[in-house]
Chains A and B, each alone.
Chain A
């Protein structure tokens, strides 16, 4: 088991309902349990179906099972599937040491609520993190033919960033169990593309 820099080590996945962050977080949790860690994976959502804010909290420990939600200001890594949701998570859980990996593709809120200037949002994310990587996951996923691949591309980017106590190979058996045939190949392609986008921006 790799060492932990902190107890518990807190990963937050921030996005919009329907983007697949619940599945992504469960994959990370499964891999961590396989490596012997004690984890909690909890999804926080408002009263919403698709289109509301969804934040998943993954708490990683070597000794105990912690409560579901991250303490204020205690995120170690934020994986953002959407820019303003990333900023929302940093507002509550960010700190000067936090590492951010973010998909800069906006998902507009309902009801014609204007989306803020994306450059300002990106600047604010960079200003609130020790290090921020912008991964064009939705654009890459659309190139692959389905925007839903964005979450596996981001999972790859998260593993590529090497910020969790996991080797990227630890994710392969999880993907293998979940997907088969052509879907497995597509997801592995997305996963590797994510690793590559993170390591060779």
Chain B
């Protein structure tokens, strides 16, 4: 979308879910938007940032999600609508603040928190269902079916937030965030001058009037439950909930979010619209019980379609258990019955299979002859495992790490972390990372391993952190390690960007979310000031880097940090910085199968710019992919990979 703040009410445009969400926030007249990058939400902040000046919005990449949520909440307390964005992992980081913010309320201006879950773990390390968090924390939660509805829900979420004086969650999933669809634009607010002011009100026993402290918690907690009751009453008549189908369906589907589209498509495909009713729940928590009751009493069978946990399924069954005389005869289908799974994504195909089973409809598979041919052809299709890009500096770093650990010979290992370099747990990083959990956890765990000396632990411990991750959550763990004198070496893989989520700037880049210049929070100086010994290496200088890692690993005490500094190859390409050289395999020198290297360059080193020519049994450069970083010339034992003249 060229201009997300185009003033064209009623105009229909194609927007990615994330862009539609950004547009919804702009239409709602937000004054502040804050987030830490996390796919599948990463495009929302840049979309708002592109019009930040024009729409007078303070947009920021915060150093982590907790800070982002605090920055946003302060705006609401000062009378300015605020928007915080995070993925499911980020919600965990922000959660300690949110649970307490619920106690104080958000003041006079609304606050919406968009949280995206990732069923199938397409860009995540887990499949957490954030609806459970909303229930746990007592936040109202809406869930959008598509881009259009996401935009509308953001806007309405602010009104709801102001009515109940609570942050409102809008929940999405990867499919919502990354699917583009038609969106009819709404009106933009006139943008009248609003002055931020934090009112001086203090009433110890009325938390609604003492907005700045989580006062007596039993009072605040009681009020919180009253607020949820109010939200539930508003949800009973919400247009975000709708029903389509016969008055007394043979089977009722209750669904939320993108699963509503799967359900409707399955009903259409099986041609059972006269037998199956579809109740779409847009206001998921607190559940609109009267609406649910009405529909439950109209049927005998209920199928729940949702991602990822059986959240609505459990809530409805719990509700029905309290109405046993009227609802004792209902049959419930979903994740408990095994018709759908409480993990991975759902799909229209999965709903078709569930419906066919419950309604005894024979399924006509694809033309059997075609299907057989297709299955046979699949034998030709190779796996395409994950990889780092051609020219990725992380490949160089982990090559050096692997060799340093081997030379040291004391079973050293790497505690991994979250970023492109997470792939070090697998072949692209030569299986060097042995742990990988949450942002900053690699260094925290390295602290722990490095404190086990009293128990005879003598393995060298390395931790890795990206540059953006360093500011997000690695910093407290580094402080801890220095204070508690843990024995480990931290490698900061500084590629000048939050690369995995799309090159967002961070405190070390000298740039703001809007692209404006910013002070650089110097990681090298910071680490030194904390008392760490710091070295800076270019990982493409393999020999020096390997020696540096080995030397640091072999020290017996003291905090050690090596900054591996080399710009992300994709960022380099974006900035049109040409490759250093043109690569060529010397046919004479490449001994192929008879070399004894066992295809070191393609099989182990694994840069996608190298191919194994099966016919010639030799390595070749794929000129469509090679970026000319030159690293492979240094790893070929036969010296057969040649760096030619610098590219023009």
Contacts and interface: CB of A to CB of B under 8 A. Distances in A.
B275 interface: no
Nearest to A147: B624
Contacts of A47: 121-123, 386
Contacts of A179: none
A65 B268 CA distance: 13
Contact of B14 (A26, A90, A94): A26
B349 interface: yes
Contacts of B612: 108, 112, 114
22 contacts: A32-B14, A49-B388, A49-B423, A49-B500, A51-B389, A51-B608, A52-B386, A65-B181, A67-B175, A68-B175, A71-B349, A91-B381, A107-B622, A107-B625, A110-B428, A110-B608, A111-B385, A113-B384, A113-B385, A121-B380, A138-B624, A141-B624
Given A109-B382, A111-B606, A41 B387 contact: no
B348 interface: yes
Contacts of B608: 50-51, 107-108, 110
B348 A71 contact: yes
B611 interface: yes
B427 interface: yes
Contact of A33 (B182, B261, B420, B603): B182
Interface residues of A, number: 61
A39 B347 CA distance: 18
Interface string A147-175: 10010000000000000000000000000
Contacts of B517: none
Given A109-B385, A114-B614, 19 more contacts: A29-B180, A33-B12, A47-B121, A49-B386, A50-B389, A51-B384, A67-B265, A69-B347, A73-B365, A84-B381, A90-B374, A91-B381, A95-B366, A107-B624, A107-B625, A110-B384, A112-B602, A114-B612, A138-B624
A111 B181 contact: no
A95 B346 CA distance: 23
B387 A48 contact: yes
A105 B570 CA distance: 22
Interface residues of B, number: 65
Given A96-B370, A107-B625, A120 B380 contact: yes
B378 interface: yes
Interface in B116-166: 121-123, 146, 148
Contacts of A73: 365-366, 370-371
Nearest to B386: A48
A120 B377 CA distance: 9
B646 interface: no
B271 interface: no
A65 B374 contact: no
A184 interface: no
Contact of A68 (B179, B349, B375): B179
A87 B381 contact: yes
A67 B388 contact: no
A52 B420 CA distance: 13
A45 B175 CA distance: 11
> DSSP class of B's interface residues: helix, strand, loop or mixed?
mixed
Interface in B346-400: 347-349, 352, 365-367, 370-371, 373-375, 377-378, 380-390
B247 interface: no
Given A112-B603, A128-B370, A142 B269 contact: no
A114 B599 CA distance: 12
Interface string B400-435: 000000000000000000001001000110000000
A18 B389 contact: yes
Given A67-B348, A128-B373, A39 B179 contact: no
Interface of B: 2, 12-14, 121-123, 146, 148, 175, 178-182, 258, 261-262, 264-265, 269, 347-349, 352, 365-367, 370-371, 373-375, 377-378, 380-390, 420, 423, 427-428, 500, 570, 599, 602-604, 606, 608, 611-612, 614, 622-625
A94 B623 contact: no
Which 9 interchain pairs have the tightest Cβ spacing?
A112-B603, A67-B261, A147-B624, A73-B366, A110-B387, A41-B180, A124-B377, A51-B387, A42-B179
Contacts of A112: 599, 602-604, 606, 612
A181 interface: no
A29 B382 contact: no
Interface of A: 16, 18, 26, 29-30, 32-33, 38-43, 45-53, 65-69, 71-73, 84-85, 87-88, 90-91, 94-96, 105, 107-116, 120-121, 124, 127-128, 138, 141-142, 147, 150, 177
A45 B388 CA distance: 15
A50 B392 CA distance: 10
A169 B262 CA distance: 34
A90 B380 CA distance: 12
A156 B382 CA distance: 28
B383 A113 contact: yes
Contacts of A110: 384-387, 427-428, 606, 608
A150 B541 CA distance: 34
Given A39-B14, A67-B262, A142 B380 contact: no
Contacts of A32: 14
A50 B367 CA distance: 35
Contacts of A142: 623-624
A140 B47 CA distance: 34
A124 B370 CA distance: 11
Nearest to A109: B384
A49 B388 CA distance: 7
Contact of B175 (A42, A46, A109, A111): A42
B449 to A, nearest CB: 26
A87 B373 CA distance: 11
Given A95-B366, A111-B427, A41 B14 contact: yes
Contacts of B347: 67, 69
Given A51-B386, A66-B261, A105 B624 contact: yes
B387 A108 contact: no
